Structure 1
Amino acid sequence: MSVTVLIAHANGEEDRAKELAAPIQAAGYDVHYGATVLVGESVVEETQKVLNAGGPVVLCGTIRAVGTPWARRVVNAARQANRQNRVFVVQMEEDADTESVAFDGKVAAWWHNQAKAADDLVTALVRYFPLDRTIAESSAATTAEARYRQLALESCDLVDLVNLPEGDRHIALRQLELRRLYVALRVRPTSVRGERLGGAQPDAGTQDRVPLGERLAADRRLVVLGDPGSGKSTLLRWITTAYLLRLADDPDWRDLPDVGTLPEEDLLPVLIRCRDLRSDHIGGAFDDVLNFTLRQQEMNDQECAALRELLRGRLTDGTALLLLDGLDEIADPMLRAKFSQQIERIATAYPKAPIVTTCRVVGYREMGYRIGRGFTHVVVDPLEAGEKDEFASRWCALAEPPERRESATAELISDVHSTPQIEALTGNPMLLTTMALVKRKVGKLPSRRADLYWEAVQVLLNWRREIDLPLDSREAMPQLEYLAYTMCDRGVQRLREDEVLDVLAAMRAEFPQVYAAQSRTPSAFLALVEDRTGLLAQAGEIRHNGRPVPVYEFRHLTFQEYLAARALVEGHHPGHDPKGTLADAVLPLVIRTASAPDSKGSQSWLETVRLCVASCNDADAEEILQGLVADRFSDEEFAPHLNLLATDCLTDEPNVSATLVRTVVDTALQRSRPELAKLVRTRWRSEVVQRVVAACTGDWERDVALIQDLFLDDYLEGRRPQTLDAEEVRETLRSPDHTVRLQAAHTVVLVVANHRGALPAKLITGLTAELVPLLDEPRPMAMTAAWALGWVYAPERAPDATLPADLIQRCASLLRDEQTDPAFARFLLWLVPAARSGDQTGELANLQEAALLWFTRAAPAHVADALTIRYPMSHPMRARLVALFAESPSARIRKPTVLMVRIDDPAELGPLLARLAKEDDKGVLESGLERVAYVRWSDHRYADLRDSASRFVTGFDPASDEQAIWVDLVQTGLGTPGARQRIVERLQGGDRARRIRTLKTVAACCLDLRSQDSLLPLPPPFDLTDHDPIDMIPADGLRAYAREVGLPPDDVLRRYEVFAREWGLWLDWVQEM
């Protein structure tokens, strides 16, 4: 390919240009100089063509050339013509002042060493303008990447302080760099489906509060959820800054907070802001999204094309990090869900690429779609006390003069921790920042967030009063309120400049009595608000009617929502009826939103109505909440949405009556129980717990769910102990406050269930002493205490402990009592398998007889439920229960009984096959098939049963892939032709998801890593990870698994070798299988 180099020189110095041209021409470049192009002041047409084409310019730097303005104009002309231009300066004479025009880097000193200068010049030309096309494309990509990294760092490295205007002399004009102010955030794994743990064990690790970097290193694909202002966007800006500094080998990289938790990789971050995307980007080609994002960074078409190709390559090999910020800021929930599916497709297309997306919790729940394909969901955790103190210290170091820093830091820290209300508010980084801002200007901190927002807005309106006249609140607030309401109602966060001006004009026409609003034109008011307050800001440009026009947004969505709430309270909104009440304005709006939850704008109103109730008069708040739970809506499809909103409104603690609180809680108990957890942290805590306790009926599933819904979130979010201190727990379990005792017993359940390994003997003794007396209390306390004891005495928690005689006696007595609640009895039965032969023989027999008596008297539904409790295969109760219920007339009872059969004993397996031959219930047959699939049919002990097994599976009609695999597994063991091959084809063919499901099923049945006598069988790693059977199985992962479950690593590897040979899998420690 041909590259033309332009040599710019002074008039009369063509000989020097010719001298300079020789090595360039020898390297293969076309060279223009002299009269043909540019000489001194004259720029001819051909010169402009070279510049516009992005060609290189070599400046022949003599005293004569640099001593006149034209040399600088050459450099400027080259840059203005095309961003790809580079000017290479050659110092031809020692005294030529070439530094003044050497903007693009190193100067070649021709006067000092002509050969070296020529070599340096040609090397630079080859680097930036290679003659080989492949090298040229690579060079273009490298140049584009360097420019992208520079622009991205400039845009992400500065903290967006939400509402900080540019004019503050002490703060805004200083570089508040993210690297200096950022306080490390923590995340926790979370379930976004609203699922509760019920009577099952919580997922291991749900209590862990860890840096996002650790989760990213472990999981690679994350959905980060959080409340408004929780720091989700800042988190992605921090990640972007960290990796850009790392790529630049910037020494400041190591000084970034928490940077050591990020994966040790040279990742190129690609930050995409969802709010910037147009609807035509969603669901289309990823290239369109990339191109739009790069153009937003002011990169030209050539740079975008080069960088897109580079990014695709990096995503493919896993060295680019895709960051998608603000999924909830796609206003339409249907488009939001559609983009979520697009994210899944991107993840599938680039399986090695790490991806992080952020979203508000409410926005994620609202769209009704959960991102899958290996994404782990985490929630941003509130800031803890030490993290708030660290922020205060950094804030004051930046915002205060040196002589006030120490005292200001102490004051801010003291205020942040001054009351429980402020302590709760400042767990949110945005509110903490706003509070620091208010504290600095006002000197006091409100304890309610609506009051905090009010103070923040007033501070911003008066920000530059020492420089300019303050913006009159009577002029600004009505117009900003009207504008914010309009944007919420349209479901948008941005409006074009002409739309903003139209809205402001409409406000003045609808409210002519607001005289202060008439003092300026809409355009003058808009310019003033942007310049003085920072509440409203220009957020770029879009094309409209063929030309670029500015678009505006509130600096943070929270301020848009708050001002819209003020619009409702003050009546400054379109269509306001001065004769109506506030409830008359709010309720139709809420009902309209709840009736069409997928409509644009529906999410915007949820937070707005909450802030409205928190800001309005007490009587108005009472009337609005009464309307939300009114009986006339109880049968409507949207009623749950109204009740959910009423519960959310109560969390802001408006001054409403206790009667109304009870009504909201009782309604929530029927419709949206999980939301009640929020009220446990309010002044209505005791009232809420009392209503929940009263709602417990003795149905174990419902009662467990009620208790979990009430207390679980506090535990998961770190507001309750994550470990058990024996004395502290004993004290809370003895508390005279019923609520405290109930929560303490539930804490024991969660902490012990998540404990790995054996509990200390002293702790077991202490917990038992306090929990046993609680067995005599009314529901649900007794049930929760029995639940806790069941976990305390589980074999893996108390392998050497024996049940105390008083506990065995109390359990036996309660199981014999016909008045004992089924929910309570179910957890008492947990203790039966925990009572082992080491316990007192007579008492143990008494307990087992009492349990059998309960089984014979209980309703079939309760029996079926209790039969799901796992008994060691050697436990005498298991065999007695199988004998008692194997022939039960209730299929619901026969089904769990089938799963209790000891399949390694032909004496039990034979009767099971005989019963299955006569069975007509589909559910029982499916359980039987699952059990039969676990049998090693190649074992000679089962020779006499193979015909029965063959008849059973041959006559079975599989209703799912899993059941079809079970049939093939049995037939493989029986030697049926084609059965094994069908499984191998499933493992190696079809789509990835089907291959993974097949491997999990086969591994569960055939991979011998579990103990038949274990209370909780150990799942193989395939149950824990999404391993594709066509991929290599790593030895390191299996060794880590072996250590975790206490098996010899070499033994685990050996078993996998056998398993892999059987099913054609690949192991990275075995060369040939």
Structure 2
Amino acid sequence: MDRPVRIASLVAFQGDHRTLTERDLPRIASALVDDVAKEIDEETTDQTRPALTDALARTLHSLGTVDLDDLRAVRLGPEAFARHLAVAAPDADEELDPADAHTHASLREAVCAHILRFLTLRSPFVTAAEDAAFEERYAQDIIAAHDHLTIYGIDLAHSPDSWPLDAAYLSLETETDGGGPSAPAEQALAGRTRVLLWGVAGSGKTTLVQRLAVSVARGDLPAPLEGLRGRVPFVLPVRRFRRAGPNRDGSPEPNTFPEPNTFPEPDAFLSAVRYPHAAAQPPGWAERVLSHGRGLLLVDGVDEAPEEERERLREALRELPTRYPGNVWLVTSRPSAVRENWLASERFTELKLSPLSREGVTAFIRRWHAAARQDITDRADLDRLSGYEETLLDAVRITRDLGRLATNPLMCGLLCALHRDRRGYLPRGRKALYDAALSMLLERRDRERAMLPPDGIDLPQEPKIQLLQKLAHWMLVNGRSEMDRATALETLGRHLPAIPHAARQGGPEEIYRHLLNRTGLLREPTPGSVDFVHRTFQDYLSARAVVERHDFDFLIDHAHLDDWEEVIRMSVALARPDECAYLLEGLLAARKDARPVHARHRKLLAAACLEHATELDPEVRSRVHRYTRDLVRPTSLEGARALGWIGPIVLEMLPDPAGVSDEEAHRLAVTATSIADDRAIDYLVRLRDRASWAVRAQLAGAWRRYDTDRYAEEIIAHLDERELDFPVSDLEELRALRRLGGRPCVQVAGALTPEQLAEGLVAERLTELWLAYDLGADLDLSWLAVFPRLEILRLSHRNAEVTGVPEGVQVIVAGP
């Protein structure tokens, strides 16, 4: 059908081609009464059934007179369509008593739902019209839900709590484990239909998901992602896939799905993530979107599923793309939660969000301060903020501890906020940073806004922390990063009597609303649920709760689970020296029936914790080194990359590379370059004279992670040039390479202009140039004529349509 059709013309007892008579209506009505009554859980008896059957038959008869077409009926929905039929047959239930009249009304609405489903399925025209109308509404809801970011600390004065995504978003860089150049995330995703994206906590995984969803819903896409135009975004946070049965602490939990963390079927996508208008989607809509290959599926946070349930998710991520080809999938996770090649058999490309580069940190700090300026009118305050901006940029560049912290958007945002809040002074180390951030958000927020408590509740910082810790601890024990509002109220109610300062000011409901509205740490992502604004705060508050309870055996028992790693590290930072020693000794101790992989993980975690211990018995520190020394001698590239999560302490444990084979030297280089700390340079110096191309390429490709000038002098200047591409990602590296005399083969990974390249590359030396970034609309490469010795030009597949390449230069286009 390509147009609407009157319902009266579809009724089988109307018109010239009758297949039923009016005498058949009681028989049909009787069957419907029996079947539909069971469906809607309405009881009928032998005494009431005849009258109900007669009433429903009269209602069905009115279908032959109703003045509606199928499209209008479907748009009315079951409830309004049922009212329409009630008007058309006003005497249908006149002989029923009030109870039976109520039952008849329920039957009528349920039957109408079946009729509308039939009308939708029989007519492609109706289906398409309904789908288009719903998609328009759904797109607007996606934009409203995700077109904002919280920028920590900007809400201290008179600014909003969140900022438009376009104003706040900072393009993130991705890299592959194959040694290719890093690239902006939008460029790396272009042309790929299946991607597994790794990123540490706070690196921007969820922000990227938001950006993609909003850009597609709005139809405002950057050039590399034009291929996503017209797709329907499904934002699917894994933490919303609900677990069945009681929680680990024995408390009941309302459930949506019959199995733990089951990946929902398409028609349940929207209800799974608690989209408020899920019931309004046309029947079969999501299935049609996926069957036609129009979906953009953004599966966010595999790491937020309990470890024992991830295999179930993996099976779904294998099966669904095969069942519904042509859709685009982006799956995100923390690196420690899934092993390398987790979805490689399903042709998922694995990308990793890079730590913010120096330029990324600078851009974020400038973007943060630009956003903060929007609500400032006083000239002196503006000048003061500009001064803070410049001093912070200098501090991050010069101070090693700050440089190590400023590796992702979350930490950069906290540094910016605290630097401003403390008038140019910053705490040192992660523990001090988080403590200061809690103080800023919990105690000073309303005071800075010169606000009286609008809810009449005035809690000091410590009771707020205690209550928030209870919620965070519940989530830790139950393996959640989100909890039902009812469970939050029950948890607060259980602990309020022990916190009299809070108990005097309100019950669980009032205290919950206060924590939600006044702390800046909680949010309600969907009606009826609550979580922390970022997992990092949840982990930190969980660690505080565990340390206060002296529950170190509890931590040790769960240390093999990757989602406990951050909690354990933070617990070491918070614990007293004797507690810290007890925890580390527990991680090293042999455990009965422990799997070898879990034993190894515990020992490596002990090593990772060392840098967070403020004070520790030297004998315990030495014992950790002794137990883990052999474990940090990786036997595979996958294992070498996996050691990076331990942090800078691993550099003290790696073996001397002087006497190892080239293969092992390469693995050691991979581990050392995964540590984005300038202390790694001291180790890499011992690898710089290797002739192995793999070792040299690994060292060259790591330049962007370290201080430009020091790395250039101590590493880049010493690498054998033969068959080696020297990457430059920014103007600073380009200039440093020129000071070294240039190189014959250069890989340009950052978006530098033709003028910058013509000036920065040493023309007399350049023989091979790899333009690894997206050239955009400027595809005229006639400017390459300034390089007289250029022989080979490498381009990405997105830049294949270039013009003006000088004669005699061979062009090689890389695959997607």
Tell me the TM-score normalised to structure 1 length.
Answer: 0.49
Match of 1:238 in 2: 211
**In structure 2, C-alpha distance between the alignment counterparts of 1:660 and 1:749, rounded to whole Å:** 40
CA 1:702–1:613: 2 relative to 1, 3 Å: farther
CA 1:1048–1:650: 2 relative to 1, 3 Å: closer
1:962-1041 correspondence to structure 2 within 5 Å = none
* 1:262 matches 2:234: no
Match of 1:351 in 2: 325
**In structure 1, C-alpha distance between the alignment counterparts of 2:232 and 2:512, rounded to whole Å:** 38
**In structure 2, C-alpha distance between the alignment counterparts of 1:207 and 1:362, rounded to whole Å:** 22
User: Is the radius of gyration larger for structure 1 or structure 2?
Assistant: 1
* 1:532 matches 2:505: no
8 A contact 1:629–1:646 mirrored in 2: yes
* 1:467 matches 2:447: no
In structure 1, which of residues 381, 394, 397 is the aligned counterpart of residue 354 of structure 2?
381
Q: Deviations over 1:958-997 (max 9, x none)?
A: xxxxxxxxxxxxxxxxxxxxxxxxxxxxxxxxxxxxxxxx
1:260-659 correspondence to structure 2 within 5 Å = 260-266=223-229, 267-279=231-243, 280=258, 282-283=261-262, 286-293=265-272, 296-305=274-283, 307-315=285-293, 319-330=294-305, 332-365=306-339, 369-370=342-343, 372-400=345-373, 401-402=376-377, 403=379, 404-405=381-382, 407-418=384-395, 419-443=399-423, 444-462=425-443, 463-465=445-447, 466-469=450-453, 471-508=459-496, 512=498, 514-520=499-505, 521-541=507-527, 550-571=528-549, 582=550, 585-586=551-552, 588-594=553-559, 597=560, 602-630=561-589, 637=596, 638-652=598-612, 654-656=614-616
Give the letter aligned to residue 530 of structure 1.
L
Aligned to 1:171, the other structure's residue is in SS state coil
CA 1:1048–1:338: 2 relative to 1, 3 Å: closer
Offset of residue 374 of structure 1: 0.6
Report the aligned-residue RMSD: 4.5
Match of 1:158 in 2: 148
Give the letter aligned to residue 149 of structure 2.
V
Give the letter aligned to residue 323 of structure 1.
L
Q: Point out 4+ residue stretches in structure 1 off by more than 6 angstroms.
A: 129-132, 162-165, 631-636, 717-721, 1045-1049
In structure 1, which of residues 740, 745, 767 is the aligned counterpart of residue 689 of structure 2?
745
- Count of paired positions: 585
**In structure 2, C-alpha distance between the alignment counterparts of 1:681 and 1:172, rounded to whole Å:** 38
Offset of residue 449 of structure 1: 1.7
8 A contact 2:404–2:677 mirrored in 1: no
Worse-matched range after superposition: 562-571 or 295-304: 295-304
Give the letter aligned to residue 166 of structure 2.
R
8 A contact 2:200–2:334 mirrored in 1: yes
Offset of residue 718 of structure 1: 10
**In structure 2, C-alpha distance between the alignment counterparts of 1:439 and 1:54, rounded to whole Å:** 66
8 A contact 2:174–2:351 mirrored in 1: yes
Offset of residue 508 of structure 1: 4.5
Offset of residue 526 of structure 1: 1.3
Offset of residue 702 of structure 1: 8.2
Q: Deviations over 1:533-552 (max 9, x none)?
A: 122233334xxxxxxxx232
CA 1:483–1:635: 2 relative to 1, 3 Å: closer
* 1:138 matches 2:125: no
**In structure 2, C-alpha distance between the alignment counterparts of 1:379 and 1:718, rounded to whole Å:** 18
8 A contact 1:230–1:430 mirrored in 2: yes
Offset of residue 648 of structure 1: 1.9
Worse-matched range after superposition: 145-154 or 532-541: 532-541
Aligned to 2:612, the other structure's residue is in SS state coil
Offset of residue 669 of structure 1: 2.6
8 A contact 1:397–1:405 mirrored in 2: no
CA 1:718–1:337: 2 relative to 1, 3 Å: farther
Give the letter aligned to residue 2 of structure 1.
R
**In structure 2, C-alpha distance between the alignment counterparts of 1:457 and 1:1048, rounded to whole Å:** 53
Worse-matched range after superposition: 562-571 or 151-160: 562-571
Give the letter aligned to residue 664 of structure 1.
V
Aligned to 1:540, the other structure's residue is in SS state coil
8 A contact 2:472–2:539 mirrored in 1: yes
1:829-978 correspondence to structure 2 within 5 Å = none
8 A contact 1:416–1:422 mirrored in 2: no
**In structure 1, C-alpha distance between the alignment counterparts of 2:607 and 2:84, rounded to whole Å:** 64
Give the letter aligned to residue 429 of structure 1.
P
Q: Deviations over 1:745-785 (max 9, x none)?
A: 369854744799xxxxxxxxxxxxx99xxxxxxxxxxxxx9
8 A contact 1:474–1:516 mirrored in 2: no
Aligned to 1:464, the other structure's residue is in SS state helix
Offset of residue 136 of structure 1: 2.2
Offset of residue 348 of structure 1: 1.4
**In structure 2, C-alpha distance between the alignment counterparts of 1:288 and 1:335, rounded to whole Å:** 22
Match of 1:1059 in 2: none
Give the letter aligned to residue 451 of structure 2.
I
Offset of residue 672 of structure 1: 4.6
8 A contact 2:666–2:694 mirrored in 1: no
CA 1:276–1:640: 2 relative to 1, 3 Å: same
**In structure 1, C-alpha distance between the alignment counterparts of 2:154 and 2:545, rounded to whole Å:** 23
Q: Deviations over 1:1021-1048 (max 9, x none)?
A: xxxx9xxxxxxxxxx99xxxxxxx9899
Offset of residue 661 of structure 1: 4.0
In structure 1, which of residues 667, 670, 688 is the aligned counterpart of residue 630 of structure 2?
670
Aligned to 1:745, the other structure's residue is in SS state coil
Offset of residue 635 of structure 1: 8.9
Offset of residue 142 of structure 1: 0.8
Match of 2:170 in 1: 183
CA 1:176–1:447: 2 relative to 1, 3 Å: same
Q: Flag the structure with more relative contact order, 1 or 2, with Cα contacts below 8 A and sequence separation at least 6.
A: 2
Give the letter aligned to residue 640 of structure 1.
R
**In structure 2, C-alpha distance between the alignment counterparts of 1:406 and 1:222, rounded to whole Å:** 44
**In structure 1, C-alpha distance between the alignment counterparts of 2:615 and 2:213, rounded to whole Å:** 44
In structure 1, which of residues 710, 713, 736 is the aligned counterpart of residue 674 of structure 2?
713
**In structure 1, C-alpha distance between the alignment counterparts of 2:620 and 2:409, rounded to whole Å:** 32
Offset of residue 660 of structure 1: 4.1
Match of 1:209 in 2: 182
Offset of residue 663 of structure 1: 3.3
**In structure 1, C-alpha distance between the alignment counterparts of 2:277 and 2:667, rounded to whole Å:** 55
Aligned to 2:281, the other structure's residue is in SS state helix
Identical pairs, percent:
21
8 A contact 1:216–1:262 mirrored in 2: yes
8 A contact 1:220–1:353 mirrored in 2: yes
Q: Which runs of 5+ in 1 are unaligned?
A: 5-27, 33-46, 56-80, 82-128, 191-202, 247-252, 542-549, 572-581, 722-731, 757-769, 772-784, 799-1024, 1026-1035, 1038-1044, 1050-1073
CA 1:265–1:413: 2 relative to 1, 3 Å: same
Q: Deviations over 1:268-294 (max 9, x none)?
A: 32221111112447556632443425x
Tell me the TM-score normalised to structure 2 length.
Answer: 0.63
**In structure 2, C-alpha distance between the alignment counterparts of 1:383 and 1:617, rounded to whole Å:** 33
CA 1:501–1:50: 2 relative to 1, 3 Å: closer
